[in-house]
Every structure is written in structure tokens, then in C-alpha cells.
Structure 1
Amino acid sequence: MSQPLSLVAVVLVCLTTLAVGGLGLRLSRRTSDFYVAGRTVSPRLNASAIGGEYLSAASFLGVAGLVYGSGVDMLWLPIGYTLGYLVLLVMVAAPMRRSGAYTLPDFAEARLGSRAIRLVSSVLVVAIGWLYLVPQFQGAGLTLTLVTGAPQWVGGLVVMVVIAAAVGAGGMRSITFVQAVQYWVKLTALAVPAFVLLFLWFRAGHPAPVVPPEWHSPLRTGAPDDHTLYRTASTVLALSLGTMGLPHVLVRYYTNPDGVGARRTTVTVIALLGTFYLLPPVYAALGRVVYPTLPDGVRQDSIVLRIPGELAGGLGADLLTAMLAGGAFAAFLSTASGLAMSVTGVIDQEVLRPRLARLTGGDAPAVRGFRFAAVAAVVLPYLLSRAIEPLGLATTVGLAFAVAAATFAPLIILGVWWRRLSTTGALAGVLTGGTATVAALGTTMLRGDLGGWVGALLANPALWAVPLAAGTAVAVSLLTPGRVPATTTRTMVRLHTPERIALARSRVRD
């Protein structure tokens, strides 16, 4: 289907992103402006920005599609997404802000005093960021093709160009404003059509939408040997701990003024996410009424965009579809901007800035390398998105969560709370978790779900890979006490001392 109104909505979202992002061009001057927005972002603005970048294509389109296809089992996905911020609130939000780091590799090196762990963390940030970016580009292509008939490559290209411009213009200051605006755009774009469609449905005299009984039977949608309970538990663990390990999520906590602000941000984020996730099940239920069985060639991810054309007609259907298309593009742009920001920071710090410093004798402007890095951060995953077959938005995003949960989550939790963590132990834990997860998921991607316990363990590795990584880090650390950094006590005091107490101590010393 080709709808001019949908194209107009997509163009408006892109222009709004560029216009709001342009504000950062005038406000960003220092390195801290580009990396952490000068550490002056208020909790409410930061919470909206986090909601904007976290609610990706997997949330806007993928969750409804999965609930449509598999029933209420898939409601564990939004629960896991939201639970991740509760874990962040309780365990690491304030300490990570007090670390004073710009990026996750900065924190790893500051805590463990090792260039090796910094290098491994940098590689992981880029890998997770690109793994998460690929479905954003693919989803953008799917959406634009569905609502306008444009070729598949166009949607991803548009997202790539807009994000490179927004991130390069003003770094974190730019995308903070962009993501905060786009959260409310996404919420409105999903909520208004949902209420209108329900109103039209009931006004026409239809009874409440009826779905198959098995659709709402918790944990009973799989085959008897599918081990659904294990798969669900592993998925929830991957989502709740993976949130902590996503580089584009953690970097937002560095933008708060202090640890108290970081905690307030997290509480607000939980409320914003909870509000948003009330809506995808509505589309899933309506999709079951419209499509009792999925037609050939129709992807689950496209259900949300197809429903208005089936339940409404004429200009009204076109307007509702245009709103959903604009909201979907806002999801692609906001999440991609956060991912591009985290990858850009690592590429700039670890690759481009040292090279430019050597070539120019240290006189190269800091902004130049950052903007080159912004381009590199989006071009390569876009090319990758064109080279591989789409796996489904929520599925691909789940891979990124699983890798993050088995690598960064143990590193951060132990780094923040366990003073006996050694450099060797941390490195062993990260490598073990990363290798195990990538091997398991890679086998599933290449050979498909093998079924039985083998298939369940390989397709959903978080429930065993996370304890394996954490156990390896603890065991190796206990065997290498000499590799515990000498600065550990001082670093731990900094992470856990409230800002008011630290300020009072500095005044006493002065």
C-alpha cells in the first residue's frame, strides 16, 4: 500500500529530529557537552530521553507482533524491559553516576586500572551497539516500504543520515532533546490510534475482541518439550540484566548532575515505560480479530501498521496509519541515536582521537574526530543490515540483551559492590560470558532452534551464561588477589559516598 500521508508523517518526524538536534550545535562546546551533556540534565528530561531511546522498534512494532503470534507468554518481554530499570535503580544507578566516567570503557578502566579490560569493553560496546542498530535500520526499511512502497534500502538510509547529522551536530546535548521529544511522539502515535480503533470497534456494535483460548494461557503456548518455563525465565533475566549492560542506557546516567538525580531519573523511567507498554497488547488483540491466521508473506512486525486499514476506512485509516508510521520512525531514530552516541564515543576515544593527535601533534580539534566517529558508527551497521536477512525486530534485539547480560552486567555489579574483584577475574568473566553467549546464539542462528533442552539452552542462554560469567569472575579473582588494583578502596569510596557527604568533606579540608 502507498499512502502519501504516511510519507508526510515520516518526513515531519525526520525534520523535527534534525531541528531539535540542531539546538545542540549551539550549546555544545566542551568535551563533556558532547559525551555527557555537561552532566546537567534534569531527572525529568533525562527520563523522557531514556524512554525515547529505550523504546525501540522492538517495543513499538515487535512486542505487539510477538504477543499476536505467541499469546500472553510474550508479555514477559515488556515486564523484563521495565524490570531492568528497577535493577538499575537498586544496584548501580547512583554509583555509576558518581564514577565520573564518560563511557562504559572509562568506568571499567577507572575501576580496574587495566587497558586490557578497557579494550575488551570497547569492542563489546561497538559489537552490542551494532547488533542493536541493525534491526533499527531493517525495521525502518520495512516500515517505509509498507506505508509508501519505497525500496527496502531507503528507510534505513534515511535513519542513517538523520542520526549521523543529529549526533555529529551536538553529541549528547543534541540527542537528549531529540530523544525526550520522541518519547512523547511515540506514546501519542501509539495511544491515539489504539483508542480511536477501540472506539470504532465498539461503536459498530461489535462485542469485545475474542481470541483463541490458548492465546491467553500463560506458559502453555509451546510444545510439551519446548521447556517454555525455562525459556521465559531466561528471557526475563536477559532483559532485566541486559538493560544494565546496554551501553546506550548506561551513558545516560552519566548526564545527571549527581547520584540522587540518577535515582530520580530511574523512578520516572519506570513510570514512563509502564505507561507505554499498556498499549502493544491492545494491538495484538485487535490483530487477532483482524487476522485470525497470518496471511502468507505478512510479517508479525507489520501487524500494528496494518490494523487501521482493516478496522477503519478512507481518510481516517490513512491518518491513523500515518500516525503509527511516524511513531515507528521516531522509535527507529531515537534508539538509533542513543546507540550511535555510545558507539561514537568509543570509536572517537579509542581509535580516531589518538590517531588525529599523532598526525597533528595534538592540535586537532576534539570535535573533528567525534564527528568522523559519528559517521563510522552508523555506516557499517547500515551496510550489515542490507547484507543479512532480517530475523525479526524483537528477536535481534533480544540477542543484544543476552550478550550484554552475560558480559557487562556481571562486570558492573561486581565492580560496584565487590572490592576483591581483580583485573584478571573481570577479564575472565567478560570473555567467558561473551564467548558462551555468542557461541550459543550463533549456533541457533545457523542451525535453527534444535528443540528439547539443547535447543532451549542454546536459544536462551542467559539463565546459565550469566551465572557462568559471574562465577568465573569471582573464582579467578579469588585465585589472583595480587591483581586487585591498589586504588580499589579509594574508587569504592567514591562510588558509594553520597555527593552531600563528599562536598561536606571537601569543605572541611578547605
Structure 2
Amino acid sequence: MQLNPWALASVALVMVATSYLGRRTSQSARETDDFLVARRMVRSRRNASAISGEYLCVASFLGVAGMVLKDGADALWYPIGFTVGFLALCIFVAAPLRRSGAYTIPDFVEARLGSAGLRRLSTGFVAILALIYLVPQLQGVGLALSAIMPEPWVLWAVVIVVVLAAANVVTGGLRSATLVQAFQHWIKLFALAIPAFVLCSVFLGSGGMGSAGGLGDEAPPEFTEETTVTVGVDTVLRVEEPTLVHELDAEPPGPRMWVPGIDYSVREGDRLLFPASSSVPTVRDTEGDNASWLRPSGDADEVWWTYSVLVATFFGTMGLPHVLARFYTNPDGRAARRTTVQVLLLLGLFYLFPVLLGVLSRLYVPELLVTGASDAAVLLVPTAMLPGVVGQLVVAVLAAGVFAAFVSTSSGLLVSAAGMVATDLMWNKRRDFVVAVVVISGAALGIAVALPFDDLIHTVGLAFALAASTFCPLLLLGIWWRRLTWVGAVVGMLVGGAGVLTAVGFHIASRVNGESVPWFVSQPALLTVPVALLTTVIASLATARRIPEDVDVVMLQLHAPDRLGFMRDPSGAGTTHVSGRPRRP
């Protein structure tokens, strides 16, 4: 890829502004409350912007458009689920969680159930969840950099970005991250909105037809001119109609006729030459013709997969530690609910734009259906529609949004995960927080480099599935069911977490071997969430004698209106002990 100096300048500007805001805010961040909950004084509007800033990750910025490019109507369930998940959070979790007075999820579960072992277990799952969530962010950054600079520079550039993000977290904690994430939300929104309006204007000015045809065409997209495509990852391609393909790296090289119904395996780096007016092949399991692309799939496996995606995104939002940490920063429960409603509005507005860019990508860069790099559509469609400097400037605006998305999300993840690890698995000193940030960010970078590239939005979906299968049952039952016991919570968390992590392992193996997997491996939440919830209930009923003695006091604290004064704000870091009961093992 050729160097795009405008895009590099925009990325550098975002990183400089982030470092400046973080450093300036961190000058007054000295206490534990500053680093973990920003003194619990963040008002709803700024907190809503900050939540949106860290929630709208690189996968939301790039991955949604990539999924729309490939799967069309079926891909819309992802942004719907990501948004509607905050409705469930508002109804069931936001206000009671804030009234608990806890700093973190482990604080809440120990305050509710009094188990130090459950606290450490939940901290371990927080660390695993942070790693799974960070990997697609780093892969997305690498993908964005590969679109704006030569390949040999990409890895070093990613390392520099990770170091800067980690340094910003270390210097200021959550108080610093709040201002940075709120600022970066608006960068992301305008970095998507302005290019979307510009490119839609170009599309309408061309008469509503893209270079690859119209969306209403029954046939698949076509190459308008002779095109050479370099395959980005090992994959399997299919065609919807007979297509002449010149396999330039085959032995012997030459033209071959690809026919429908046959899988054609291609390797990373293979070059394929397509004549003008030939149909665009697609990656296996991608909608090939536009008519199917516009309609939801009726295939049984696709329907079950869709339900599983909805379960993961709807319930997983309630279990994301970096999102829940934001509600501890509100002054009270009412402010937490107001924050959630405002987040719903911000997310609904944001997700309009990647969907539009995904549709335009189908019309102007259909070759991405061959290369497997559909997540790069947002950064490649501007130059396809606007050649020259104008297109590069639009790419520069989008690149700024991508890096704002990475820094804001990674900051929230690192603050929440490192804070919990330092508090519960180390000695709760400032040095431990720094060590935890370095270890988690370094481990995520190593995994991102070692693992094969996958659809960004799919990997994030697996993180949501883990959150939905571990923390969601724990929070829902802990807040609304007085008969929950720490034994039931431990067993349910282990069952749900083991189910998702097993699916993740099989999915990684399938990517390495180039094999397909059933829907419940690709997205297991439809199975693991009910099983985890049911297991927690059964184990709690079987250990009814372990119900905490002060459960009524705790439940009153969680559900009493704020004005009655039962909300608790502990002054120290670490654990929250309601009515002073001892820890359980």
C-alpha cells in the first residue's frame, strides 16, 4: 500500500491530542477514587459520551461496514444488538449497580455474596475478557495502518500506538480516561458522518449506480475493468455463475473456468486476474448475488446463528467490565439511568454511518469479497469513489476515527482490567496497576500478531458471548434474586465461561486449518447463556444454607430510592463490605 501522508498526519494529531488531554487531566488524579471511579462525580452527559467512546470500538468502526459488505441484511443484527443491549442494562442493572457503592464487578460480587474466591474468579474472567476484546482492536489498527502506509512499517506503528495508549492509562486512570473518551466519541462520530455524507453525495450524483452495478440487480457484482486481486488470507471462494479466472501463481498459470457449486481454495498472496464484466467471486458463506444480499437469510443454521448473536449482544453488554465501570462514576442511581438513555441515542446515531459505508463498499470495492479483507472497506471505498487527493483526505478523516476508536476502547479495557487485577490478584499498589497494564497490553499484542486475522466484529461477538455467559447471570440474579449463593455463582460462571472458551478454541483451530464450523461454535451464546443461568439457579437452590445472612440489608441498599440515603460509597479502594460480614473462601 502506498503512503498516505494525510492519513498519517490525522492519526498523529489524534494521538497528540489524546496524550495532551490525558496528561493535563492526570495532574489532579492522585487518589484511588481518581483512578478507579473518577471521584464518582461524572455527570450524565459527559459520562454518556465517554461510555459511547469506549464502547464504539474499532470493530464497530470497521467491522460493521465489513459485515454489511459481505452479508447484507443479516449483518444489521450486530448494530441492533449492540445498541439494544443498553436498554437491558438501563432496566435491570444500571441504578442498582451504582447504589451498591462498589468500584468493580469483583467488588460487587463480594459485597453481595461475601466470597473472596468468587471475587478472584471474576477478576480472572475480567482479564480473559479484556484479552479477547483487545485482540480485534489491535488487529483492526494493523488493518487500518496497512491501508495508509507500506507493509514493513505496520508492526512498529502498532507497537507505538499501543505504548502511547498504555502510557495514557497509567498516568491518569479513569478520571483521565473520561475526558479522553468523551472527546474521542465525537471524533469518531464526525469522522464517520462527514465521509458518509460526502460519499453518498457522490453516489447520488452518479445516478444511484456504483461501478459494480446496482443493489437491485439479481446478478452478483461485476468487475468493470480488468482487475488483478491479491488474496489477503487463506480462504475458500465460490462463484454464482461461470467465471473465467486467470490464476497467475498456479502451476501452470493460466485461465480456468470456475463454476457454481464448487469451493476454490486460495492461499495468502495468490494473484487472481479477472476480465472486465466478469462476476465477483465471494468468500464461502458470503452472500454472492445482490438479491440474496438484500434479504435476510432463511437458512436454518443462519437463523440460529442470528438468535445467538442477539443473545450475546443483548445480554453481553450487561457484563462488560469496562462499560459497567462507567456507572460507578455517576453521582447516584438516577444519573446512571439518565446516562444509559443518552448512550442509546448516541449509539443509534453512530451505527447509521457504518451501514451506509458498507452498502457503498458493495457497489465500489467488490474485490474485497475476494481478498477476505472486507473490514478494510471503510478505508478503501473513498479512493475508489474519489481518486486523487480528495479521496486521500476522506481516508485521513476516517483513519483519525479508527485510531480514536482504538485508544478510547483500549483505555477503558486497560483501566478496568488492570485495576481489578492489581487489586485482587496483586498487592493493590500503584506499581501493580502499571505492571498489570503492561502485561495485559503486551499479551494482547502478542496474541493479535500470532493469531490469524478474523472478522473483527465476529471476534468482538465472542467477547460479548463470554460476558453474557459469566457476568450477566451473576449480575441479574445478584441484583434481583435474594436466594443466590456464592456456590451457585461460582458453578454458573465456570460452566458458562468454559462453554464459551471451548467454542473460542475450536473457532481458532478452524481458522488455522481453514475449516468451517457449526453455528454454535461460531457464536455459542444461545446455548451457554441459558445453561449458565440455569446452572446458577440449581446450584444456589442446592446450597440454600449458604444464602448470606444480611441479604435483606444488601437488597434494600440496591433497590431503595436514592433519596432515602441507603446508597453506599466506601472511602477506600478494594473491597466493599456491607454490614461488616466476613469473607467466605
TM-score bucket of the superposed structures, by smaller chain: over 0.9
Determine the structure 1 residue equivalent to 2:69.
Answer: 68
Structure 2 Cα separation of the partners of residues 425 and 503 of structure 1: 27
Determine the structure 2 residue equivalent to 1:407.
Answer: 470
Structure 1 Cα separation of the partners of residues 496 and 566 of structure 2: 39
* CA offsets 1:471-504 (integer angstroms, 9 cap, x no match): 0110111111111112211111111112101269
Match of 1:332 among 376, 391, 406: 406
Structure 2 Cα separation of the partners of residues 382 and 412 of structure 1: 30
Matched, 1:395 2:458: yes
Shift of 1:298: 5.2
Match of 2:174 among 153, 166, 172: 172
Q: 1:335 to 1:231 in 2, by over 3 A?
A: same
- Whether the 8 Å CA contact 1:140–1:155 is kept in 2: the answer is no
Determine the structure 2 residue equivalent to 1:359.
Answer: none
Matched, 1:277 2:328: no
Moved over 6 A (4+): none
Matched, 1:137 2:138: yes
Matched, 1:228 2:228: no
Q: How does 1:255-270 map to 2 (within 5 A)?
A: 255-270=329-344
Shift of 1:313: 2.1
- Whether the 8 Å CA contact 1:137–1:157 is kept in 2: the answer is no
Identity %: 45
Amino acid at match of 2:414: A
Structure 2 Cα separation of the partners of residues 49 and 108 of structure 1: 25
Matched, 1:210 2:273: no
Structure 1 Cα separation of the partners of residues 116 and 170 of structure 2: 27
* CA offsets 1:122-180 (integer angstroms, 9 cap, x no match): 00000000110111111111111211225331343133112111111110011101100
Structure 1 Cα separation of the partners of residues 6 and 338 of structure 2: 39
Structure 1 Cα separation of the partners of residues 196 and 554 of structure 2: 49
Determine the structure 2 residue equivalent to 1:385.
Answer: 448
Determine the structure 1 residue equivalent to 2:189.
Answer: 187
Over alpha carbons, which structure has the higher Rg? Answer: 2
Structure 2 Cα separation of the partners of residues 154 and 268 of structure 1: 38
How many pairs were matched up? 488
Shift of 1:352: 3.4
Structure 2 Cα separation of the partners of residues 326 and 73 of structure 1: 28
Amino acid at match of 2:377: I
Amino acid at match of 2:383: G
Structure 2 Cα separation of the partners of residues 48 and 281 of structure 1: 21
Structure 1 Cα separation of the partners of residues 97 and 515 of structure 2: 40
* CA offsets 1:61-116 (integer angstroms, 9 cap, x no match): 00000011011101000000001100000001001111111111111111110011
Coordinate RMSD, CA, aligned:
1.9
Shift of 1:189: 0.4
Matched, 1:318 2:381: no
Structure 2 Cα separation of the partners of residues 83 and 246 of structure 1: 14
Structure 1 Cα separation of the partners of residues 181 and 352 of structure 2: 20
Q: How does 1:420-499 map to 2 (within 5 A)?
A: 420-447=483-510, 455-499=518-562
- Whether the 8 Å CA contact 1:25–1:174 is kept in 2: the answer is yes
Structure 1 Cα separation of the partners of residues 480 and 351 of structure 2: 32
Structure 2 Cα separation of the partners of residues 478 and 204 of structure 1: 65
- Whether the 8 Å CA contact 1:444–1:450 is kept in 2: the answer is no
- Whether the 8 Å CA contact 2:70–2:369 is kept in 1: the answer is no
Q: How does 1:344-359 map to 2 (within 5 A)?
A: 344-353=418-427
Determine the structure 2 residue equivalent to 1:113.
Answer: 114
- Whether the 8 Å CA contact 2:483–2:541 is kept in 1: the answer is yes
- Whether the 8 Å CA contact 2:315–2:472 is kept in 1: the answer is yes
Structure 2 Cα separation of the partners of residues 108 and 321 of structure 1: 45
> Which is helix-richer, 1 or 2?
1
Structure 2 Cα separation of the partners of residues 260 and 154 of structure 1: 45
- Whether the 8 Å CA contact 2:365–2:384 is kept in 1: the answer is no
Match of 1:153 among 145, 152, 155: 155
Structure 2 Cα separation of the partners of residues 107 and 179 of structure 1: 24
Q: 1:396 to 1:207 in 2, by over 3 A?
A: closer
- Whether the 8 Å CA contact 1:89–1:267 is kept in 2: the answer is yes
TM-score, scaled relative to structure 1: 0.92
Determine the structure 2 residue equivalent to 1:54.
Answer: 55
Structure 1 Cα separation of the partners of residues 444 and 531 of structure 2: 30
**What SS does structure 1 have at the residue aligned with 2:368?**
coil
Match of 1:241 among 315, 326, 345: 315
Structure 2 Cα separation of the partners of residues 328 and 174 of structure 1: 20
Give structure 1 stretches of 5+ with no counterpart. 355-365, 506-510
Shift of 1:391: 1.6
Structure 1 Cα separation of the partners of residues 19 and 344 of structure 2: 28
**What SS does structure 2 have at the residue aligned with 1:352?**
coil
Shift of 1:351: 3.2
